[in-house]
A and B are shown apart, each in its own frame.
Chain A
C-alpha cells in the first residue's frame, strides 16, 4: 500500500514537498491569512454556533430563492508542481503508516494522502491493536487536523505572539530554574504513550531535579493497575484472549468499545460468536452493568445492577464458585471473608448459582473481565478468579504495563491531580507547564483547579486549541496535530510504532517533545531528530537506517511487543482493597450517580470535532448534547415521564415532545442542571451523566454544547457517588435525537433466534416463511407475485441488464458481529464528504449520515434486550426510489448499483418518500459552504463529488473505490475485479468485520457464500425490493437454566 521509497539517501520526507511548495505559494498564504486573522476565531465571540448555523441557513435559503444567480463554480487556481515529487501520481492517493495515541495507548494507522493532503484514516493491518480496524476517534482525527478553531500562534495573555517571544521569555524564566533546580516548577500531562517523549521527560527532570511531574487523565486505568498489583505484586496489564474463551463474564467492561485494546478484543470476541461453531464452541457472554453499553447489547445475559452493587455481584459469584468447589488457593480465606448480599444487590441467588455453574464447567476456557470504572477490589477478585479457574495462559495473559513503563509509578490520576491542586492552593507552584491537558475543565469541581491556577505565577499551556485552561494561562502555545509531527507510541501490548507526519504543520505549532527539549536544554531540536535519535539509541546502531525505514513503512517496530509473564501471587491484597472499598462505597438503597467518559467526546478533548458531535450516542442516539440518563421508573418518580415518553399509546417511544425537562443533580453540595433522558435498561435509582460535554470554551462547534459533569464530580470517588439528589427544575431544553423510537413493533426487520432453536432447524430459523406472511414460491424461491417479471434480456424494466452476468455487487451485514460502535458511520463520513448539519437540522431529522445504526429494544422496558442494525442503502434490484423519480436521476447500473446522478437530480424528494428503508438524504441547504475557503476543504476526498444544495444523496457502496479498482485491473488487462480488491469505507473500518462486500456472481467470494447461508435474510424482502444488502440473523446463546429462572 505504501509507496515509500526505500532509497537510504532519501530521508522519507519527499512526500512533503508538494505541501512545501503549496505552503510557500503566495496564493495559499494570503488565503490562510485573509480568511483567518491570527489568533482570532472566524466569528466574533458574540455569535453562537447555533446562530452561525441559523445565519448560514437563512442565507442559503435566500440564495436559493434568488435562484439561478448563485455562483456555482467558484474560481480556483491550480498550482502545478514546480518539481514533481517522486512516486507521486496526481489523482492516485498514497498511504503512509503512522499511529495515534489516546490515553497513552497507540493504534497503528494508515493515512490516505491526496497530493499531500491527509484525507482518510484506515487501520494498519500490521499493528496488533488495529489489525486493519479503526475506532471512531481515529476516523475523526483527520477532521481535527483541519479544525478551523485550532490555535495558530503562541498567545501571551490573550495577545497573539510568536515563538521567538516565547523562547526569550522562557529562556529567562527557566534560567533561574536551572540554577535553583526547578524549585516551584511543575509539569502536568496526560498519560504519555510515547517512548521518545518519556525520554525527553526524563531529561527534563534531570535538568530540574526539584521539579515535579503530575500525570493526570480523567479516563484512568488506575483501578486496574492497583487491583492487579495488589494480587500479583507486579505492575502488569491483563491481556484477554477472547478467541479462546467460551464463557465470558464481564463486570461492567465495555470491552468491544471502551476498554484498552478494544479493537482487538472486539475482533477476537466476535470470532467466537458465529453460531455455526455450535453449542460447544460458540461463546456465551454474561455482562453485569447498569447502563447499556454496546458490549451489553451483544451479551447473551445482561444482569442489570445498580452501579454500587456491581462489585458485590462479583463477590457473590466468587463466593458461589467457591461454594461449588473452586479452589481459590491463597485467596480462599480472603474471598470467604468478603460479604455481599444478593437481595440488596438486586440479583437472585439462583441466577448467580447457574452463572457460576456455567463458568465452572468451562475452567480454562472462561474469562472474567473487569471494567476500568470498577474499583480496584473488583479487578483483584477478577484476577483471583481467572487464576483459580486456570484461565491464565489460556484466556488471559499478563504483560508488563507500557503505561507504567512510560509514566512511572503513580499514586493514581486523581490523587496526583489533588496533590497538585493542593500545592497550587498553598502557593507552592510558581510555574506550571501543562502539556496537552485541560485541567481547568476536565478535573472534578471539588479541586477548584481553575480557581487555583490564579495562584500560579506562570502557566504555560501547550494545547491544540484555545480552551478553559489556555484562558487562564500566561502563555498558550499551539500544539501540532499528530499528523503534523514526528512521534512514536506504544500499543497496549508494548508494540512500538513510529508516528510519521503526513503534512507540514498548517500553523506555527510545535510538538510536546520539541517544547520540552527546548525547555530542558534550550536547544531547539526538531521532533524528527528527537524520535530518530531515541530509536537509534535503542537499536544499538545495528543497521539502523534500514530498520528505521522498515519501521516507517510497516508502521510497527518489529519485535517490540512485550512477552507475556507469569503473574505472581500476593497475599492480603483483596482484604486490604475490600477495607478501602468499604470505606468509600455508597450505601445500598439510595440514588446513585455514575460518571463515564462520553462515548464520542471522550473527556471533552474532541468537543470541537463536528463529526463526533453529530455522531449519535450508540445507545440513546443523542447528538450535540449529553443528558442525565435515568430509568423509566426514576422518571416516574421525579415526575418528568409525562414529558419524556409516550405512555398513552405503546410506551415504546420518546414521544413527540421536542423540549425535554431539565433536572438539577446535586452531589456533595455541588449541583448541575442537565436535561433528563430515559434509557431503557438502566438500573433503577441510577443517574448516568457522561463527562466531556459542557465545554465552556473551545471552538465554535463545541462551546456551550451539553452539560458539564465535572461540576459535580468528586476527586475522592470520581466515577460513582451515592447520596445524589435529582429534582425537576421545570425548565425545558431541546434535544436532538436521531432515533426516538425504541421498539421494533413486532416487525421482522431484525431477526433473532436462540442458538438451540437455530441448531435444531437452521433452514427454518430465519426463513421468510417463518418471519413473513408473504408466501414464497417453492419453485424459484422468490416471493409469489401477480406480476410477471420482465425478462432481463429483452429490454425489460431494467434495460438490458442481466444481473446474472458480470460483476454484481452485494453486501452482507452480520448482526451477530456488529457491536454498534459507530465507526462505520464516521468512516463513511470521511470517505464520502458528508457534511455536518448542526443541531437545528438534526432536530428536523435532516442529518446527512449515509449509514446509520438503528437501535432497538425488545422485551420489558425496564430491562430490555438491545440489538443494533446497520442500515444504509440496500441497493434494491427493484428499487422503489428509481421508479418514482420524475427525471430519472436515480437509475440502476449494470453492476446492480442504485446510482445517483447528482447533476440530473432536481430534488423532489419523492425517492426518499418511497424508500422503505429511509436511507436517502437531502441537501436542504448548501452545506458544502462550510468548507469553502476553509481548511476543512482540504479533508475532502477528491474522488467523491461534493453535493450541491437541493440534491438527494445516499450510500453508493463506495463506487469510487470500485471504479479505482476497475481502472487498476483494466490496466492489467483484467476485466473482472478479484475478490478483496474493493472494500467500502464502512467495511474497511469495521473492527469486527461485520460488513462483507463483494461480487455476488463470484461463487467463491465471501459475500456469495454468506448470501446462501441459512442466517441470510433481506429486510422488507416481502416488498419485492430485492435488496442487494442482506443481513445475517442474530443468534444468541442463552443459558437455558437462567432463562428458566427469569421466566
Chain B
C-alpha cells in the first residue's frame, strides 16, 4: 500500500508550481519520481491480486468479437482509467521537467553510450529562448492538467470504497478525505526520502531548512484535515443511526483490530501536531521520526479501511484476517521494487531540478552583480552547447 501513499508527489509539485512556490524546486523532482514509482508499484498490485492475470486486458474497452464491454458502472473500472491517465500525465510532467537537466547531463556525459541515450531523451534541447518559451508553456499546461487529475485520481480511488455497500466504506466523506490523506502522506514520504538524500549527498544548501519547515507545516495542516475526517466519520456513523454503520466504527475503534485503529490515530493525528512547535519543525531527527510515523500511520489507515470487511452485515461471516507469508512477502517486495526504482533514479538522473534550482539561486537574479539582462539559467545550461 506504499503505492497509494506516495501518489501525491505530482500533486504537491504541480500545485506548488501553479502557486509559484519557489521552494518547491527543492522537492519537486523527488516527489514526482516517487509518485511515478509508487504508481508503478500500485499498477503491479492488480496483477498480483486478480485471480486470472492473463485475462486482465478484459478491463480495457477493447473491441472484441463477443461485443463484450467492461462494466462502466464499476468503480474499479473508473480506477483503471483514473490511474492510467494519472500515470501517463505524471510521467509526462516529470519527463518534461527533466528535459533541460537531461541536456545538461548529455553535455557532460563521459561515455558514448550515455551521451547517445541522453541525447535521445533530451530531444535535442539546446536551451534556446524558443526552447525555453515552449518548455515553460508546456510545463505550465501539464501542471494545470495534473492538478485536477490528482484530485480526481484520489477521489476515484476512494470511490472503490465509497460506492460500495460495505458499512464503513459507504461514506461521502471519502473523496476529500483521501485527497487530504494523499497530500499528507505524499509530503511525509518525500520528506523521509529527501532527508536521507540531503544527508547522503550533502544537499544542505539546496534543500534548506525553511523548505523542510514548509513541508512540516503542510503535514500539520493535512494531518489535521485527516484527523477531522476521522472524527467526522465517527460522528456521522453515530448520527446516521444506522446500526451497521455504527457497529463498523465502534468495531474499528474498539473491536478486534483496535490496535490498528489507534496506531493510525496516533501516527496520523497526534504525531503531526508536534509541528506546532517551531523547534520541532527545525529539528531534523525528530521530523524524520515523525515522517516515518506518518508513513506507518497512513499504511494503517488503508489497513483499517480494508479490514472493515472482516465484520460487515451478517455476523455469521465475521472472521479474523491474518496475513499469509505470501501477503507479507508481496508487501515487502513492493518496498524492494520501489527502492530499486528510486535508487536507479538517484544514480542516473538529476535528483534535483537543476535548471529550476539555478533559476531560484541568488545568482539567477539579473541584478545580482551583473547589469546584463539575460537569463543566468540559460547561460549556464548552454555553457557547452555554444
Binding site for B on A (CB under 8 A): 61, 64, 67-68, 646, 649, 653, 655-656, 658, 739-747, 749, 773, 844-845, 852, 854-856, 869, 871, 880, 882-888, 904-910, 913-914, 916-918, 922-923, 948-952, 1019-1020, 1023
Are A747's CB and B243's CB within 8 A? Answer: yes
**Which A residues touch B318, using CB under 8 A?**
653, 740-741
| Other A-B pairs beyond A913-B309, A918-B314, 9, CB < 8 Å | A745-B243, A749-B314, A844-B322, A880-B165, A887-B59, A888-B69, A908-B50, A951-B52, A1023-B165
Q: Which residue in chain A gives the minimum CB-CB distance to B69?
A: A888
Given contacts A649-B255, A886-B59, A888-B70, contact A907 B52 (CB under 8 A): yes
Chain A residues in 8 Å Cβ range of B255: 649
Q: How far is the CA of A918 from the CA of B52 in the complex (A)?
A: 21
Partner of A741, one of B50, B53, B316: B316
Q: Which residues of B contact A882 (CB under 8 A)?
A: 71
Hey, which chain A residues are within 8 Å of B70, CB to CB?
A: 886-888
Interface pair A906/B319, CB less than 8 Å apart = no
Q: Are A922 and B314 in contact (CB under 8 A)?
A: no
Binds A, one of B1-9, B73-81, B148-156, B376-384: B73-81
Interface string of B53-96 (1 = CB under 8 A from A): 11110110000000011110111110010000000000000000
What is the distance, in angstroms, from B344's C-beta to the closest C-beta of chain A? Answer: 24
Known: A649-B254, A888-B68. A949 touches B315 (CB 8 A): no
Q: Which 9 A-B pairs have the closest CB atoms?
A: A907-B51, A950-B51, A854-B316, A918-B317, A950-B52, A888-B71, A886-B76, A656-B320, A886-B77
Q: Does B312 contact A (CB under 8 A)?
A: yes
Chain A: interface secondary structure? loop
Name the prevailing secondary structure of the B interface residues.
Answer: loop
A1020 to B244 CA separation, bound complex (whole angstroms): 11
Minimum CB–CB distance for B179 against chain A, Å: 22
* Chain B positions within 8 Å of A905 at CB level: 51-52
Which residues of the other chain, B, contact A949 by a CB distance below 8 angstroms?
51-52
Question: Does A886 contact B74, Cβ atoms closer than 8 Å?
Answer: yes
Count class of interface residues, chain B: 35 or more
Please determine whether B164 and A884 come into contact, CB atoms closer than 8 angstroms: yes
Instruction: Name A906's contact: one of B52, B75, B242 (CB within 8 Å).
Output: B52
- With CB as the reference atom, state the residue of chain B lying closest to A69: B54
B residues adjacent to A (C-beta < 8 A)? 46, 49-56, 58-59, 68-71, 73-77, 80, 160, 163-166, 241-244, 247, 254-256, 309, 312-322, 324, 326
CB atoms of A68 and B316 under 8 A apart: no
Q: Give A959 to B165 CA distance when docked, in angstroms.
A: 27
B314: chain A residues within 8 A (beta carbon): 747, 749, 854, 871, 916-918, 1019-1020
Given the known interface contacts A68-B54, A646-B256, the answer about A880 and B164 at a Cβ–Cβ threshold of 8 Å is yes
Partner of B243, one of A653, A746, A906, A907: A746
Centre residue among B76, B241, B314 by max chain A CB count within 10 A:
B314
Q: Contacts A741-B318, A854-B314, A914-B164; is A61 near B326 (CB within 8 Å)?
A: yes
For chains A and B in complex, what number of residue pairs have CB atoms within 8 angstroms? 145
Minimal Cβ-Cβ distance residue in A for B242: A773
Nearest Cβ in chain A — how far from B261, in angstroms?
Answer: 14
A909→B51 contact, CB < 8 A = yes
With A649-B254, A914-B166 known as contacts, the answer to whether A886 contacts B71 (CB < 8 A) is yes
In the complex with contacts A649-B254, A910-B74, A67-B54 CB distance below 8 A: yes
Q: Which of B52, B71, B76, B319 gathers the greatest number of chain A CB atoms within 10 Å?
A: B52
With A656-B320, A883-B73, A951-B51 known to touch, is A914 a contact of B247 (CB < 8 Å)?
no
Q: How far is the CB of A925 from chain B (nearest CB, A)?
A: 10
What are 14 A-to-B residue pairs whose CB atoms are below 8 Å? A67-B54, A649-B254, A745-B247, A880-B164, A887-B59, A888-B70, A907-B50, A909-B49, A910-B74, A913-B309, A917-B313, A917-B317, A1019-B314, A1020-B313
Measured in the bound complex, the distance between the Cα atoms of B49 and A638 in whole Å is 44
Bound-complex Cα distance A856 to B315 (A): 9
Contacts of B326 in A (CB 8 A): 61
Contact of A740 with B51 in the complex, beta carbons under 8 Å = no
Distance, CA A655 to CA B321, complexed state (A): 12
Q: Quick check: B58 and A916 within 8 Å, CB to CB?
A: no
A844 to B326, CA, bound (A): 13
Q: In the assembly, what is the distance between CA of A529 and CA of B76, in Å?
A: 66
Contact assessment for B75 and A656 in the assembled complex, using a CB-CB cutoff below 8 Å: no
On whether A856 and B50 interact (CB within 8 A), knowing A880-B165, A885-B71, the answer reads: no
Q: Which of B69, B71, B309 has the most CB of A within 10 A?
A: B71
- CB pair B59–A906 under 8 Å, yes or no, is yes
Is B49 in contact with A908, judged by CB distance below 8 angstroms?
Answer: yes
User: What is the minimal beta-carbon distance from B225 to any residue of chain A, in angstroms?
Assistant: 27
State whether B316 touches A852 (Cβ < 8 A).
yes
Complex contact B58–A906 (CB within 8 A): yes
| Residue in A closest to B317 when the chains form the complex, CB atoms | A918
The answer to whether A773 and B241 touch (CB under 8 A), given A67-B53, A884-B76, A951-B51, is yes
Query: A744: which B residues are within 8 A, CB to CB?
Result: 315
- Which single residue of chain A is at the shortest CB-CB distance from B66? A904
Q: When chains A and B are docked, how far (Å) is the Cα of A61 from the Cα of B55?
A: 17
Known: A888-B69, A910-B76, A950-B51. A856 touches B316 (CB 8 A): yes
CB distance from A824 to the nearest CB of B (A): 16
Docked CA distance A405–B242 (Å): 64
Contacts of B322 in A (CB 8 A): 658, 844
Q: Which residues of B contact A883 (CB under 8 A)?
A: 71, 73-74
For A884, give the chain B residue with the smallest CB separation: B74
Smallest CB–CB gap between A933 and chain B, Å?
23
Residues of B within 8 A of A1019 (CB): 314
Residues of A within 8 A of B160 (CB): 910
Checking A845, A909, A922, A948 against B319 with a beta-carbon cut-off of 8 angstroms, the contacting residue is A845
Q: A950 is contacted by which of B50, B58, B315 (Cβ under 8 Å)?
A: B50
CB distance from A855 to the nearest CB of B (A): 7
Are A884 and B163 in contact (CB-based, < 8 A)? Answer: yes
Q: Is the CB of A656 within 8 A of B165?
A: no
Within the complex, what minimum Cβ distance (angstroms) separates B287 from chain A? 36
Contact of B51 among A742, A844, A885, A922 (CB under 8 A): A922
CB distance from A68 to the nearest CB of B (A): 4
Q: Looking across the interface, which residue of chain B has its beta carbon closest to that of A658?
A: B322
- A922 surroundings in chain B (CB, below 8 A): 51
Q: Are A656 and B256 in contact (CB under 8 A)?
A: yes
Residues of B within 8 A of A885 (CB): 71, 74, 76
A658 vs B53: C-alpha distance when bound (angstroms)? 31
CB B66 to nearest CB in A, in angstroms, measures 9
Within the assembled complex, what's the spacing in Å between the Cα atoms of A917 and B165? 11
A204 to B165, CA, bound (A): 69
CB distance from A929 to the nearest CB of B (A): 15
Provide the residues of chain B in CB contact with A61, threshold 8 Å.
326
With contacts A886-B76, A908-B76, A913-B309 taken as known, whether A745 is within 8 angstroms of B315 at the C-beta atoms is yes
Contacting pair A913 B52 (CB below 8 A): no
- Interchain CB contact under 8 A, B164 and A913: yes
A913 with B166, Cβ < 8 A, contacts A884-B76, A906-B59 known: yes
Q: Does A740 lie within 8 Å of B320, measured CB to CB?
A: yes
CA distance A916 to B244 in the complex (A): 11
Identify which of A67, A742, A745, A1023 gathers the most chain B CB atoms within 10 Å of its CB.
A745
Give chain A residues whose Cβ lies under 8 Å from the Cβ of B312.
Answer: 916, 918
> Who on chain B is nearest to A908 by CB?
B50
A50 to B: closest C-beta gap in Å: 15
In the bound complex, what is the Cα–Cα distance between A869 and B315 (angstroms)?
12
- Measured in the bound complex, the distance between the Cα atoms of B55 and A852 in whole Å is 31
Chain A neighbourhood of B68, CB < 8 A:
887-888, 904
Closest chain B CB from A786 CB (angstroms):
13
Inter-chain contacts of B50 with A (CB < 8 A): 906-908, 950
A906 to B326, CA, bound (A): 20
Contact (Cβ within 8 A) A844 B324: yes
- CB-CB under 8 A from A951, the residues of chain B are 51-52
Nearest-Cβ distance from residue B188 to partner chain A, whole angstroms: 28
Contact B74 A904 (CB under 8 A): no
* Cβ contacts under 8 Å, A64 to chain B: 53
Name the one of A746, A869, A887, A948 contacting B71, with C-beta atoms under 8 angstroms.
A887
